[in-house]
A and B are shown apart, each in its own frame.
Chain A
Amino acid sequence: DIQMTQSPSSLSASVGDRVTITCRASQSISSFLNWYQQRPGKAPKLLIYTASSLQSGVPSRFSGSGSGTDFTLTINSLQPEDFATYYCQQSYSTPRVTFGQGTRLEIK
């Protein structure tokens, strides 16, 4: 299985900050990388697909980049509703997709 490693595991930031979350794959996955947001007690929500494409309805302050093994999710000008846990997912080996362990974004 392809292993996905996110860093950091947790992050504290303030409203208005810019934050970056990193995801690394154990082998090259081209651009087959997706990002999800999960608020407490809620289902995951798709934010970014194929590394850099913004899902419809997702605010433009979210962006993704990367290819091969290294990827980033950037959130500009953090809003209160952005404090959640973020997961990367590789879909290179669909249907056997794997997720990162998650990055918990907390309010400082």
Chain B
Amino acid sequence: EVQLVESGGGLVQPGGSLRLSCAASGFNFSTYIMNWVRQAPGQGLEWVSYISRSSTTIHYADSVKGRFTISRDNAKNSLYLQMNSLRAEDTAIYYCARYGSGSLWNDYWGQGALVTVSS
């Protein structure tokens, strides 16, 4: 069974940092493209970042570029999102999501990790 489990969320002050993790199981993690999508409270979905299978291709939304860093460790079946210089507008549930094999859609999503940026 495919599972994606996020962790590392919490309350952080503006300007602070947080690192999210996404533990993958039930599939060959190294052969799948991954991304992070977030959802502010009561709002819609916003794509955040994308990483290819071997980490050679990485993209960020303009809203987080220069502050967030996506990475993966295929040996540990894990995806990460390092978030620095956090702002109140970064408050959201952060989902890791898998791209289906050879596809352009997200076929599996984690349950999400809540990040709250507040003083």
Q: Taking the complex as formed, is B95 at the interface, i.e. its CB lies under 8 A from any CB of chain A?
A: yes
Judge if B47 is at the interface, Cβ distance under 8 Å.
yes
Q: Given that A44-B45, A97-B47 are known contacts, is A91 also in contact with B109, CB under 8 Å in the complex? A: no
Instruction: Collect the chain A residues with CB atoms within 8 Å of residue B109's CB.
Output: 43-45
Q: Mark A49-86, 1 if CB is under 8 A from B, else 0.
A: 11000010000000000000000000000000000000
Say yes or no: A43 contacts B112, CB within 8 Å. Answer: yes
Smallest CB separation, B12 vs chain A (Å):
22
The reply to whether A95 and B44 form a contact with Cβ atoms under 8 Å apart is no
How many angstroms from the CA of A43 to the CA of B114 in the assembled complex? Answer: 12
User: In the complex, A89→B109 CA distance in Å?
Assistant: 15
Interface presence of B106 (CB below 8 A):
yes
Report whether B107 and A55 are in contact in the complex, using a CB–CB cutoff of 8 Å. Answer: yes
Chain B residues with Cβ below 8 Å from A34 are 104-106
Closest to A98 in B: B47
B interface residues, Cβ below 8 angstroms from A: 35, 37, 44-47, 50, 59, 61, 95, 97, 100, 103-107, 109-112
Q: List 30 A-B contacts (CB under 8 A).
A: A34-B104, A36-B106, A42-B111, A43-B95, A43-B109, A43-B110, A43-B111, A43-B112, A44-B45, A44-B95, A44-B97, A46-B105, A46-B107, A49-B104, A87-B45, A89-B105, A89-B106, A91-B105, A94-B50, A95-B47, A95-B50, A96-B47, A96-B61, A97-B47, A98-B47, A99-B44, A99-B45, A99-B46, A100-B44, A101-B44
Given contacts A36-B106, A91-B105, 16 further A-B pairs with CB under 8 A are: A43-B112, A44-B95, A44-B97, A44-B106, A46-B105, A49-B104, A50-B104, A55-B107, A87-B44, A87-B45, A89-B105, A94-B50, A94-B104, A96-B59, A102-B44, A102-B45
